Chain A
């Protein structure tokens, strides 16, 4: 299911809890239509509710941690830190993946343990080091807020908030966090001036010698697959990643390929946030990663000159940063 034509406009809700939500039937240049599950169609009211939930710290035990705390629009929908910080300042063990274009993801989380955005949405709420709530507690809390209770009834026809409704509303909102129409897309569409010469050189490297497009492929610059890229593999108790979910030894140390769209804004990088800059990322790949028996065959030593590294970074930062970045602001929250 794709966005229906009636959403070919931006809507402003006339409700007291106004939230500006842009929905478009036409995906931005370079991206396909956003896939929408048939049991969770997009509606303006649902997206607005999801946006409020996304930005509301009351979904956490200490009323301070919201989805946006770790997936902040101002920080590339990540959080700018190596690891996420949850309730009472607790630290997680993985970098916050960006929400940008996660609508195109096949599996969610770094290890792909959630099959849909709806499955993903309830995970952090219940994670003891993230939002540390039970579903029963968060439902009770939301149903104590008239503005939420009435919206859930209107959107889902339920007597207030439900776990299913929370998941669907947040997922629907996340499907509006889209970035396309980048200089790369314009260049590809024929605008020869859309990329600087350095970025064009970087693009050629990206899709050629530097081997980036072996995994960062397709419109969203992700193959939606899992790879061991030799990060953190020198630690005694390294993160096993996808293997903990798939139970396949070949997936040991493998993590989901992230999108590279808006990558300039969402650092630090890698599943463990161990690369502070894109220059460090390129250096890592050029060296071929940390050797280990599960290292992906696409990761190998690449001879690449310093000037070429700079061109690659230029392509990613300039070419994949959209003028239409989803600069979402926190809406007014129900009281």
Chain B
């Protein structure tokens, strides 16, 4: 197993900084630890998950409202500590949003699907209550396969047939959970891919579908040291088999997105212990190696998603000054061209 892993792991990595970094444009500020971004195909509305709930933004008008609220609060970390709520977002279809939970203890967390419709944001919009989902998946309770049960669902990917959720409960396994649809309805959420067993690195975080239907996963690695241990792993979504595993040289991959225009792959690096090294990167895959090219420095970026025109939206944690409680999170965008 180890030997085949070593064979799969590609030795060559390179980090390159571009001379002229791209400039992001702030489109929404005052967010409280934003962790999830999804773009609604039909409207172009951007949905952002933060501690307070799920926000809907119409980039054309600049208007935003809270779409879903009422989530409990969980605290991540022991110092610094972060209040977190809903985490990963992805669309099931044009009107249904999948929300991965981070607001409860491991073993109690849920994946909810909400009907969000297509109405534009307006000030007196009544938020959908957190428990008013049209479908609820989970929880994944403690079992022999997951010592404390699963939670902190950072990443959500859907192809309309299956939903994949990255979990951060049992650190011996690094599970990705899967729900398979029957007659158009999502089925039970089950543990599917033990990423840590496959890669020997902690913490699957972002998950997306690649251009050819593969499941593309960012394995964050350890957060307390900056060893550049993040991986990009490619799995067969049907069998869960690891097809390819790349060392990226990034510290803490938190977001992944393919440009619909250029088909290029982008990643955000949160870089916990060395935030200055973090930002948005393009991942250039060349055979068995990856070159991570820095596109822009960002202050603790998390999730990212493209709209159909190739505009990239990135959620950014930001840094709250000592003694302040003012949320410093934001949503920024990079205009088409990436």
Q: Is the CB of B224 within 8 A of A188?
A: no
Q: Is A42 an interface residue (CB 8 A)?
A: no
List the A residue with the shortest CB-CB distance to B6: A32
Q: Is the CB of A250 within 8 A of B171?
A: no
Q: Is the CB of A189 within 8 A of B200?
A: no
Q: Is the CB of B225 within 8 A of A226?
A: yes
User: A208 — which chain B residues lie within 8 A by C-beta?
Assistant: 144, 172
Q: Is the CB of A225 within 8 A of B222?
A: yes
Q: Is the CB of A225 within 8 A of B172?
A: no
User: B62 — which chain A residues lie within 8 A by C-beta?
Assistant: none
Q: Is the CB of B144 within 8 A of A209?
A: yes
For B81, B202, B223, B224, the residue with the greatest tally of chain A CB atoms inside 10 Å of its CB is B224
Q: Is the CB of B147 within 8 A of A219?
A: no
Number of interface residues of B (CB under 8 A): 27
B135-174 interface bits toward A, Cβ cutoff 8 Å, 1 = contact, 0 = none: 0000000001001100000000000000000000011100
User: A32 — which chain B residues lie within 8 A by C-beta?
Assistant: 6
List the A residue with the shortest CB-CB distance to B145: A208
Number of interface residues of A (CB under 8 A): 38
For B1, B172, B201, the residue with the greatest tally of chain A CB atoms inside 10 Å of its CB is B172
Q: Is the CB of A209 within 8 A of B147?
A: yes
Q: Is A107 an interface residue (CB 8 A)?
A: yes
Q: Is A192 an interface residue (CB 8 A)?
A: no
Stretch at the interface among B29-37, B72-80, B185-193: B72-80
Q: Is the CB of B227 within 8 A of A106?
A: yes
User: A215 — which chain B residues lie within 8 A by C-beta?
Assistant: 171
Q: How many A-B residue pairs have CB under 8 A?
A: 76
Other-chain residue from A112, A217, A225, A294 in contact with B78 (beta carbon distance below 8 A): A294
Q: Is B2 an interface residue (CB 8 A)?
A: yes
Q: Is the CB of A248 within 8 A of B2?
A: no
Q: Is the CB of A249 within 8 A of B79?
A: yes
Q: Is B3 an interface residue (CB 8 A)?
A: yes
**A217 vs B80: C-alpha distance in the bound complex, in angstroms?**
25
Q: Is B273 an interface residue (CB 8 A)?
A: yes
Q: Is the CB of B225 within 8 A of A250?
A: no
Q: Is A252 an interface residue (CB 8 A)?
A: yes
Other-chain residue from A29, A189, A246 in contact with B224 (beta carbon distance below 8 A): A246
Q: Is the CB of A211 within 8 A of B147?
A: yes
User: A207 — which chain B residues lie within 8 A by C-beta?
Assistant: 172, 197
Q: Is A185 an interface residue (CB 8 A)?
A: yes
Q: Is A123 an interface residue (CB 8 A)?
A: no
Q: Is A242 an interface residue (CB 8 A)?
A: yes
B1-19 interface bits toward A, Cβ cutoff 8 Å, 1 = contact, 0 = none: 1110010000000000000
Q: In the complex, how many angstroms separate the beta carbon of A218 from the nearest chain B beta carbon?
A: 5
Please list the residues of chain A having a beta carbon within 8 angstroms of any beta carbon in chain B: 29-30, 32, 106-107, 112, 185, 188-189, 207-209, 211-215, 217-219, 223-226, 228, 242, 246, 248-252, 254, 293-294, 298, 300, 302
Please list the residues of chain B having a beta carbon within 8 angstroms of any beta carbon in chain A: 1-3, 6, 77-81, 144, 147-148, 170-172, 196-197, 200-202, 222-225, 227, 229, 273
Q: Can you offer 20 A-B residue contacts whose CB atoms are under 8 A?
A: A106-B227, A112-B225, A214-B170, A214-B171, A215-B171, A217-B200, A217-B202, A242-B224, A246-B224, A248-B79, A248-B80, A249-B78, A249-B80, A250-B78, A251-B224, A252-B79, A294-B79, A298-B171, A300-B148, A302-B147
